[in-house]
Amino acid sequence: MSLRRLALVRLLVVLTLGTGLWYVGWRWMFSINWANWWIALPLVLAETYALTDGFLFGITMWRARRRPDPPAPAADATVDVLITTYNEPVEMVARTAAEAQRIRHPHTTWILDDGNRPEMQAAAEDLGVGYLRRSDDWSDRPRHAKAGNLNNTLFETDGEFLLVLDADQVPDPLILERTLGYFQDPEVALVQTPQWFTNVTDSDPLGSQAPLFYGPIQQGKDGWNAAFFCGSNAVLRREALMQLGIVGYVRSVREAVDDSLRASRRVIARARRRAADHGPVAVRALDDVAAAVPVAQRRLRSGEPLADITYDFRQVVHQGSRSIVEHDLEQIRSDLQELEGLSGEGTPPVSLDEELGLPVVDDDAMDRLAARDFSPLGALQSVTTLLRAVDVDRDEEAQPMMPLATISVTEDMATAMRLHGLGWRSVYHHEVLAHGLAPEDLRTMLQQRLRWAQGTMQVFLRENPLVQRGLSAGQRLMYLATMWSYLSGFAALVFIAAPVLYLCFGVLPVNAYGWEFVQRFVPYIVINQLLFLVVGYGVRTWRGHQYSLALFPLWIRACWTAAANVFLGRPLGFVVTPKTRQATEPGFPWRLVLPQLVASVLLVVACVIGVVRLWTGAADSITGTLVNIGWVAYDLVVISVIFEAARYRAPEPDKESVD
């Protein structure tokens, strides 16, 4: 982006935020119609969401950068080209592998077959490329989809750098020569290039190309050192990933120790409530251990070595156990002496076994001793067992170290965010260096978008960037911007409902649709649209803008299912996006677009009713009616893309080009 254009973008960002704050501040302070709070409050919240979204977009664009050509790569840089596959056609994977063999920089090509197919292995052998499948260690353990496939491969290969390609992403021979040079900076861990699709028509009804994201947005994130891994067409530094794996392993062990300490606190608290019956020695021992738990937790949070923390804590537990045992032995000696004193009263409870020469206590006396509850020693033994049970081998996983993140159904964003948290740098190289295949029907596209959204929201709920250590303020906002965008489904629902309620029933969410409203709203919306026009100049961004609203049912579903997975443990599953043409349902796929169809019908009906009410004088405000009719028209134009996508049938591929 040129300096002049960047200056214009920054000016429009300031104006957008200024007019937005003027409008939304007025909405909160003076214009909420509390009589209809049930729609008025959601509407102003949706408008606040939109302003926040605009703020995050503006901050992203503030540092948009287009990098100059990178330096030449080091001649001795070793590279593994990794082609991930599960169930894609063997011919497709073989074509990608064959083209990967033509990459100019010296490298080793590997097919990572998560489908474990003999025919895929045979194709790899015919091509002379490496073939890898999961090791037996993964049997009966979580597989973690693509992330697990790559994690398994990291311990089977040894290249200094890794080029990751999806099965359909055919690389350009120059892809390594155009990206490896960035790694001369020893702090660079990732270079991401765009994803571009060859089977997309100019109209792009399924919105696959995403030129706004693979362009201005990634360039903006790059300016904040927050361009992130997108799963394919990216080169990663092995050292950075292995460091990430080690840090993740240590973190998991620390979390296990912390869990054991919390459990120990509960065990000791229960034992402490009964300790008074066992005397001051037991009370003092339990108190010492209870006091040692928070000390160990503080040391754990401060990053002290685990071995030192657990050793010191176990010493406190051991000392407490020893003092209780010594006290109990003393008590036993006293009890035995007491029993000895009873020898003159009938049958002596303690006698001498003539054969063994040892004192023997009779059954009645033994019952009396056994009935006594000597001490809460069992509680301290339980604490020791808890600490010893910490699984440093992570037997629940196939391998102790998982460098690529496995916390969501998409591995890319979480991995990049963790790398940034460790201080590594990333690069977005804006040059198409691989060509792939996009979904060719609405159902496949919806599956793909749902998985992306679910994965992003899982990361947001599990590792909120706002509280992650190591990230700069700019990086936190850049990751938040992507996650925040998937909440748009809830705002879209309100933006559809509000005009329907006003036009049909006269339900007014604002105090008045008069001049005061117009003079604040119009400058804000006009300047906001100008910002998008300038940022996306020369780039077809309208499809992406349409889908941000038109897929509102999908975004809501993604948020709900991701939350249910994170908090309730409900499975999401992992659906690999089909890379080949899918059989389409005959006729129009009504079920796929039913929510949008219902919304469109309601909007049209509301528009007609609004005009009738205005004609008959039943409407409260001419301005309000016109504003809401314009609002409805905009919503209909945006939502219409989903119906175009539902009708879309991809053209038959050119056989000659395929061959």
Q: How many CB atoms lie within 10 A of CB 262?
A: 12
- Report which residue type is found at 70: P
Contact 63, 223 (CB under 8 A): yes
Nearest partner of 1 among 212, 220, 214, judged by Cα? 220
Contact 131, 121 (CB under 8 A): yes
> Residue 193: its pLDDT value, please?
98
pLDDT higher than 70, residue 357: no
Q: Write out the DSSP string of 482-525.
A: HHHHTTHHHHHHHHHHHHHHHHHH---SBS--SHHHHHHHHHHH
* Residue that has been written with the tokens 């890794």 in this structure: 162
Q: How many CB atoms lie within 10 A of CB 192?
A: 28
d(CA 49, CA 26): 15
Q: How many CB atoms lie within 10 A of CB 286?
A: 26
d(CA 85, CA 63): 36
d(CA 404, CA 248): 9
Task: Work out the percent of the chain whose per-residue pLDDT is above 90.
Answer: 62
Q: Which two tokens stand for residue 478?
A: 């850049």
Contact 289, 316 (CB under 8 A): yes
Mean pLDDT lowest among 308-322, 384-398, 564-578: 384-398
Buried b vs exposed e over 107-144: b needs ≥16 C-beta within 10 Å? bbbbbbbbeebeebbebbeebebbbbbbeeebeeeebb
pLDDT higher than 60, residue 312: yes
Q: Which domains does the chain have, with CATH numbers?
A: 3-62+487-570+591-648 (no CATH), 79-245+398-463 (3.90.550.10), 275-375 (no CATH)
d(CA 383, CA 395): 21
Question: pLDDT tens digits, residue range 251-309?
Answer: 888 888 888 888 888 888 888 877 776 778 888 888 998 999 999 999 988 888 888 88
* Residue that has been written with the tokens 């206590």 in this structure: 361
* Residue that has been written with the tokens 């991401």 in this structure: 192
β partners of residue 163: 81, 235
For residue 580, how far is the Cα from the chain centroid? 27
d(CA 452, CA 192): 17
Q: How many CB atoms lie within 10 A of CB 531?
A: 22
Q: How many CB atoms lie within 10 A of CB 345?
A: 8
- Report which residue type is found at 438: A
Contact 163, 81 (CB under 8 A): yes
Nearest partner of 456 among 565, 361, 597, judged by Cα? 565
Mean pLDDT of the chain: 88
- Interhelix angle 145-154/238-273, rounded to 10 degrees, is 110
pLDDT higher than 70, residue 65: yes
Q: Which of residues 381 and 597 earns the better pLDDT score?
A: 597
Q: Which of residues 442 and 394 earns the better pLDDT score?
A: 442
Contact 191, 234 (CB under 8 A): yes
> Residue 256: its pLDDT value, please?
85
Alpha helices by DSSP H, listed for 389-487, are 412-421, 442-462, 473-485
Q: Which two tokens stand for residue 33?
A: 């119609």
- Report which residue type is found at 277: D
d(CA 153, CA 331): 61
d(CA 564, CA 558): 10
Residue 147 to residues 85, 161, 165, 240, 455: CA-CA distances in angstroms?
12, 17, 13, 16, 12
pLDDT-derived band at 574, boundaries 50, 70, 90: low
pLDDT higher than 90, residue 385: no
Question: pLDDT tens digits, residue range 76-94?
Answer: 999 999 999 999 999 999 9
pLDDT higher than 60, residue 657: no
For residue 519, how far is the Cα from the chain centroid? 41
Question: pLDDT tens digits, residue range 398-453?
Answer: 888 899 999 888 889 999 999 999 999 999 999 999 999 999 899 999 999 999 99
Task: Work out the percent of the chain whose per-residue pLDDT is above 70.
Answer: 89
Contact 169, 434 (CB under 8 A): yes
pLDDT higher than 70, residue 544: yes
Q: How many CB atoms lie within 10 A of CB 608?
A: 12
Q: Write out the DSSP string of 593-656.
A: GHHHHHHHHHHHHHHHHHHHHHHHT--S-HHHHHHHHHHHHHHHHHHHHHHHHHH--PPPPPHH
Q: Mean of the pLDDT values across residues 240-253?
A: 90
pLDDT higher than 60, residue 358: no
Residue 393 to residues 247, 314, 575, 591: CA-CA distances in angstroms?
15, 20, 30, 48
pLDDT-derived band at 354, boundaries 50, 70, 90: low
- Report which residue type is found at 226: A
> Residue 372: its pLDDT value, please?
45
* Residue that has been written with the tokens 């939304």 in this structure: 24
Alpha helices by DSSP H, listed for 28-140, are 37-62, 90-101, 118-127
Contact 288, 320 (CB under 8 A): yes
Q: How many CB atoms lie within 10 A of CB 435?
A: 17
Question: pLDDT tens digits, residue range 124-155?
Answer: 999 999 999 998 889 889 999 999 999 999 99
Q: Which two tokens stand for residue 351?
A: 């006698």
Q: Mean of the pLDDT values across residues 640-653?
A: 84
Report phi then psi at 196, rounded to 5.
Answer: -130, 140
Contact 491, 49 (CB under 8 A): yes
Contact 293, 312 (CB under 8 A): no
Contact 223, 65 (CB under 8 A): yes
Q: Which two tokens stand for residue 270?
A: 């229960």
